[in-house]
Amino acid sequence: MFEYYNSLGARSYYQGEGSLSCFSSLDNCLTNSTIANREIDPVAVLSILMKNYAIGTRTLIKGVERTPWMSMSDDHGGWNCADLPAHQQVKVGPEDASASLHQHLRDEALAFIGSKKTIGILLSGGMDSRIVAGIVRQLQVEGSFSGDVVALTWGVPDSRDVLYAQKIAKAFNWEFKYFPLTAEGLARNLELTAERGAEFSPVHLHAMESISKMHGLEGVLAGSYGDSIGRGEYSGKRVNKLPSILDKHMNHFSFLLQSVEKKALPEIKNDLLLSRQCFSGRSEISYREIEMQMHYMRRQLNACMEIIDDNVPLYQMFGSQDTFGYMWSLAPECRNDDIYEHLLLRLPNVLQDIPWARTGKKYNQNDMSQEDTFSALNNHYGEWLRNDLRSHVLGLINGGSLQRLGIFNDKSLEMWSKCWPKTGGFKADRLDEKMAWLASLAIFVDKYNVQGIQPKCTLKVEDSLAQAKAYIHTNLYHLAIRLKS
């Protein structure tokens, strides 16, 4: 079960209170649990409203937790933390760093694919997945891997992700399997998110369920950890510029009652403190990167990838201790885009020629004349939610399941149901993403018979003030977006 427990992309399991057994699904955990009342955990709810993922090991049901990050059971009810590599200040040039990273990635890929006959690669137009593809192609050419490869790509047809991935697959003579993203698929992901504990927004599931049902694959490689490890970047922020994980209070929409929020926030801070204590003696910069891996990467990105891993073993490249340990040994300023530029020189030439989906230009180049005209967005989730799925989403949010929990500001739920814009771009914004999650949460509450808190909290004057503030803030936010576009 914990074969890759010390890998960044290792799966986290479910564990019921007082149980030594671990389960791969929430459903199995609850079936075999002795928890009398399945009560909602407002701390986890606030965490998801603020950060889009649950902090630490919490789930939305009290008494059910995720197994700790980078830890192995000691069979006595406790956990042994992995010997986490230290962050250091070694200074090397991008050419030397790329040489070491290249070798580590080769070792990682070989350790996973071994003698498998057919593997899949989650391939997009981004840099991380094409580097994984390049590594595997090299292993094929030199004879270290004799199996077949299937490139697995999702998106809308005219997106860079789909078009660039198809070019790479064709150049490598690989089978190309394309999964379109649609409003109907997003509707299914509302339900799938609920089935899996409603711990993230449905907009992150893409075509993962379809890939999990593919026959003939003995393993799937993903490169989702490349940005954070290979380039030292988390959601656009460099590792030496990462803010505190609670730097901004992001519960913009006043969905939660103020009394619930004030009680839950200190518990989130305590969870963060306890999680740091598992890996003591680190610098603040080191802790901030560890927290991004422990909470954000594991509880949002990797939790979604578990859908594939349910049926086909999935491994996240850049995740071995040798690989991320080496990158962590480098000074923060040495972990930059130049490493990828030099790494591409060690891989098949076609990967340098195909533009980067993020910019439409060749990687690390600023020549605007070379930018393509394809779409940088691989989905239309915002438009689909606001229009195609609007009545379905609002019916779930206002169906009574959320209101019975006794933690939500019912007036805010009503307000945003009426004021949720129908217009906007294809991309899902913060409000779209939260409305999708609330719809999944309503399904989750009914599916697992989740109970509200006792005694239930009631609406107060401070909630009306927070609601008004949220309305003004969101309208200013949407105005700024319109002016920018």
Instruction: Report how many helices (DSSP H) and strands (DSSP E) the chain contains, helices first.
Output: 18, 11
Segment 345-372 mean pLDDT:
85
Q: What is the Rg, in whole angstroms, of the alpha carbon atoms belonging to the chain?
A: 22
pTM of the model: 0.95
Q: Which pLDDT tens digit goes with each residue over 403-418?
A: 999 999 999 999 999 9
Share of the chain above pLDDT 70, in %: 97
Q: Which pLDDT tens digit goes with each residue over 109-132?
A: 999 999 999 999 999 999 999 999
Segment 96-104 mean pLDDT:
98
Residues 6+ apart with CB under 8 A from 156: 162, 180, 181, 375, 377, 378, 379, 380
Residues 6+ apart with CB under 8 A from 391: none
Query: Rounded to 10 degrees, what is the CA torsion of 6, 221, 57, 277?
Result: 30
Share of the chain above pLDDT 90, in %: 83
- Give ∠ CA 332-337-341 in degrees, rounded to 5: 135
| 20-29, 300-309, 446-455: least confident range | 20-29
pLDDT score, position 260: 96
**Pairing between β-strand 220-222 and β-strand 118-122 as defined by DSSP bridges:** parallel
3 has pLDDT over 50: no
Q: Where are the alpha helices (DSSP H) in 207-336?
A: 208-212, 258-277, 284-291, 303-309, 321-329
In 3D, which of 445, 446, 391 has the Cα closest to residue 420?
391
pLDDT score, position 2: 35
**Pairing between β-strand 71-73 and β-strand 79-81 as defined by DSSP bridges:** antiparallel
Of the pLDDT bands very low, low, confident and very high (cuts 50, 70, 90), residue 21 is confident
pLDDT score, position 82: 87
As a whole number, the mean pLDDT across the chain is 93
DSSP state of 405: G
pLDDT score, position 370: 62
| Burial class for 143, CB neighbours closer than 10 Å (0-12, 13-18, 19+) | exposed
pLDDT score, position 372: 82
Segment 315-337 mean pLDDT:
97
**Distance in angstroms (rounded) separating the CA atoms of residues 81 and 62:** 23
- Give ∠ CA 249-253-254 in degrees, rounded to 5: 85
Q: Which residues of 464-479 are buried (b: 16+ CB within 10 A; e: fewer)?
A: eebbeebbeebeeebe
**Distance in angstroms (rounded) separating the CA atoms of residues 322 and 128:** 18
Segment 305-333 mean pLDDT:
97
CB 301 within 8 A of CB 224: yes
Q: Which pLDDT tens digit goes with each residue over 80-94?
A: 888 899 999 999 999
324 has pLDDT over 80: yes
pLDDT score, position 371: 66
Segment 67-74 mean pLDDT:
88
Of the pLDDT bands very low, low, confident and very high (cuts 50, 70, 90), residue 1 is very low
In 3D, which of 57, 36, 45 has the Cα closest to residue 442?
45
Chain-centroid distance, C-alpha 178: 21
Segment 14-20 mean pLDDT:
83
Segment 429-435 mean pLDDT:
95
5 has pLDDT over 90: no
4 has pLDDT over 60: no
In degrees and rounded to multiples of 5, residue 256 shows phi and psi of -95, 145
Q: Which sign does the torsion angle of CA 148, 153, 158, 163 carry?
A: negative
In degrees and rounded to multiples of 5, residue 279 shows phi and psi of -135, 75
485 has pLDDT over 70: no
351 has pLDDT over 90: yes
In degrees and rounded to multiples of 5, residue 15 shows phi and psi of -145, 130
